[in-house]
Chains A and B, each alone.
Chain A
Amino acid sequence: MLFNSIDFAIFLPIVFALYWFVLNKRIKDQNFLIVIASYVFYGWWDWKFLSLIVVSSILDFSIGLKLKKEENQVKRKTLLWTSIAVNLGFLGFFKYYNFFLDNFISAFSFFGADIGPSSLNIILPVGISFYTFQTLSYTIDVYKRKLEPISDFVGFSAFVSFFPQLVAGPIERATHLLPQFYKKRTFDYSKAVDGIRQILWGLFKKIVIADNCAEYANIIFNNSEVYSGSTLVLGAFLFTFQIYGDFSGYSDIAIGTSRLFGFDLKRNFAFPYFSRDIGEFWRRWHISLSTWFRDYLYIPLGGSRGGTLKKVRNTFLIFIVSGFWHGANWTFVAWGALNACYFLPLLLTNKNRNNIEIVAKGKVLPTLKDLMFILITFSLTVFAWIFFRAENIGHAFSYISTIFSSSLFEMPYLLEEGTGRHILPKTFLLLIGIFVLVEWIGREGEFALEKIGLKWKRVFRYFLYYSIILAIIWFGGKEQQFIYFQF
Chain B
Amino acid sequence: MRKFIFKVLVFSLPILIVSVAFELLIRNIPNDYSYKKEYLDENSEKIETLVLGSSHSFYGIDPRYFSNNTFNAGQISQSLNYDLEILKKYQGEFKSLKTIVLPISYFSFYSSLESGVESWRIKNYMIYYDLNSSESMLDYSEVLSNHVKVMIDKLVSHYGKGDKSIYCSNLGWGTNFKSENALDLLKSGEISAKRHTVLDRESEKVKAEFDKNKLHLKSIIKWSKERNVKVLVLTLPAFKSYREHLDGEQLKKTIDATESICSEFDNCIYNNLLNDTAFVASDYFDADHLSEIGAEKLSRQIDSTISWNNQ
Closest to A465 in B: B11
Contacts of A219 in B (CB 8 A): none
Q: Which B residues from 1 to 57 make CB contacts under 8 A with A?
A: 1, 3-4, 7-8, 11, 14-15
A187 within 8 A of B: yes
A7 within 8 A of B: yes
Tell me the bound Cα distance from A193 to B6 in angstroms.
Answer: 12
Q: Is the CB–CB distance between B204 and A121 below 8 Å?
A: yes
Tell me the bound Cα distance from A6 to B145 in angstroms.
Answer: 10
A127 within 8 A of B: no
Closest to B145 in A: A6
Q: Is the CB–CB distance between B137 and A6 below 8 Å?
A: yes
A: contact size bracket: 10 to 19
Closest to A192 in B: B4
Q: Which A residues from 166 to 204 make CB contacts under 8 A with B?
A: 187, 189, 192-193, 196
B149 within 8 A of A: yes
Tell me the bound Cα distance from A7 to B136 in angstroms.
Answer: 9
CB distance from B3 to the nearest CB of A (A): 6
A92 within 8 A of B: no
Q: Is the CB–CB distance between B15 and A189 below 8 Å?
A: no
Determine which of B8, B15, B138, B144 lies in contact with A469 in the assembled complex, contact meaning CB atoms within 8 Å.
Answer: B15
Tell me the bound Cα distance from A187 to B8 in angstroms.
Answer: 15
Q: Which A residues from 427 to 477 make CB contacts under 8 A with B?
A: 462, 465-466, 469, 473-474, 476
B148 within 8 A of A: yes
Determine which of B4, B11, B148 lies in contact with A474 in the assembled complex, contact meaning CB atoms within 8 Å.
Answer: B148
Q: Is the CB–CB distance between A187 and B147 below 8 Å?
A: no
CB distance from B22 to the nearest CB of A (A): 11
CB distance from A154 to the nearest CB of B (A): 24
Contacts of A383 in B (CB 8 A): none
Q: Is the CB–CB distance between B137 and A7 below 8 Å?
A: yes
A94 within 8 A of B: no
Tell me the bound Cα distance from A10 to B138 in angstroms.
Answer: 12
**Given A465-B11, A474-B148, A474-B149, A193 and B137 touching (CB < 8 A)?**
no
Tell me the bound Cα distance from A462 to B191 in angstroms.
Answer: 48
Closest to A21 in B: B1
Tell me the bound Cα distance from A192 to B5 in angstroms.
Answer: 10
Contacts of B144 in A (CB 8 A): 6
CB distance from B187 to the nearest CB of A (A): 10
Contact with B along A1-42 (1 / 0, CB 8 A): 000001100100000000010000000000000000000000
Q: Which B residues from 147 to 178 make CB contacts under 8 A with A?
A: 147-149
Tell me the bound Cα distance from A465 to B11 in angstroms.
Answer: 9
Q: Is the CB–CB distance between B1 and A462 below 8 Å?
A: no
**Dominant SS among interface residues on chain A:** helix
Q: Is the CB–CB distance between B1 and A20 below 8 Å?
A: yes
Q: Is the CB–CB distance between B11 and A462 below 8 Å?
A: yes
Q: Is the CB–CB distance between B147 and A189 below 8 Å?
A: no
Tell me the bound Cα distance from A10 to B4 in angstroms.
Answer: 18
CB distance from A391 to the nearest CB of B (A): 16
Determine which of B4, B147, B149, B204 lies in contact with A193 in the assembled complex, contact meaning CB atoms within 8 Å.
Answer: B4
Contacts of A466 in B (CB 8 A): 14
Determine which of A7, A187, A473, A476 lies in contact with B4 in the assembled complex, contact meaning CB atoms within 8 Å.
Answer: A187
Contacts of B8 in A (CB 8 A): 196
Tell me the bound Cα distance from A299 to B11 in angstroms.
Answer: 48
Contacts of A7 in B (CB 8 A): 137
Contacts of A465 in B (CB 8 A): 11
Q: Is the CB–CB distance between B4 and A189 below 8 Å?
A: yes
Contacts of B137 in A (CB 8 A): 6-7, 10
Tell me the bound Cα distance from A132 to B144 in angstroms.
Answer: 35
Tell me the bound Cα distance from A467 to B163 in angstroms.
Answer: 31
Q: Which of B138, B191, B204 has the most CB of A within 10 A?
A: B138
Contacts of B3 in A (CB 8 A): 189
Contacts of A121 in B (CB 8 A): 204
CB distance from B60 to the nearest CB of A (A): 23
Contacts of B191 in A (CB 8 A): 418
CB distance from A135 to the nearest CB of B (A): 32
**Given A121-B204, A196-B8, A469-B15, A187 and B1 touching (CB < 8 A)?**
yes
Q: Which A residues from 121 to 139 make CB contacts under 8 A with B?
A: 121
Contacts of A462 in B (CB 8 A): 11
CB distance from A195 to the nearest CB of B (A): 10
Determine which of A6, A187, A476 lies in contact with B138 in the assembled complex, contact meaning CB atoms within 8 Å.
Answer: A6
Contacts of B4 in A (CB 8 A): 187, 189, 192-193
Contacts of B204 in A (CB 8 A): 121
Contacts of A196 in B (CB 8 A): 8
Determine which of B1, B7, B147 lies in contact with A476 in the assembled complex, contact meaning CB atoms within 8 Å.
Answer: B147
Q: Which of A6, A7, A10, A466 has the most CB of B within 10 A?
A: A6
Contacts of B11 in A (CB 8 A): 462, 465
CB distance from B141 to the nearest CB of A (A): 9
Contact with A along B179-200 (1 / 0, CB 8 A): 0000000000001000000000
Contact with B along A217-253 (1 / 0, CB 8 A): 0000000000000000000000000000000000000
CB distance from B118 to the nearest CB of A (A): 14
Contacts of B15 in A (CB 8 A): 469
CB distance from A265 to the nearest CB of B (A): 20
Closest to A479 in B: B138
Listed A/B pairs (17) with beta-carbon separation below 8 Å: A6-B138, A7-B137, A10-B137, A121-B204, A187-B1, A187-B4, A189-B1, A189-B3, A189-B4, A193-B4, A196-B8, A418-B191, A462-B11, A466-B14, A469-B15, A476-B147, A476-B148
Query: Residues on A close to B: CB < 8 A?
Result: 6-7, 10, 20, 121, 187, 189, 192-193, 196, 418, 462, 465-466, 469, 473-474, 476
| With A6-B138, A6-B144, A474-B148 already in contact, 6 other A-B pairs whose C-beta atoms are closer than 8 Å | A6-B137, A192-B4, A193-B7, A196-B8, A474-B149, A476-B148
**8 closest residue pairs by CB, A with B:** A187-B1, A473-B148, A192-B4, A189-B4, A6-B137, A6-B144, A6-B138, A474-B148
Query: Residues on B close to A: CB < 8 A?
Result: 1, 3-4, 7-8, 11, 14-15, 137-138, 144, 147-149, 191, 204
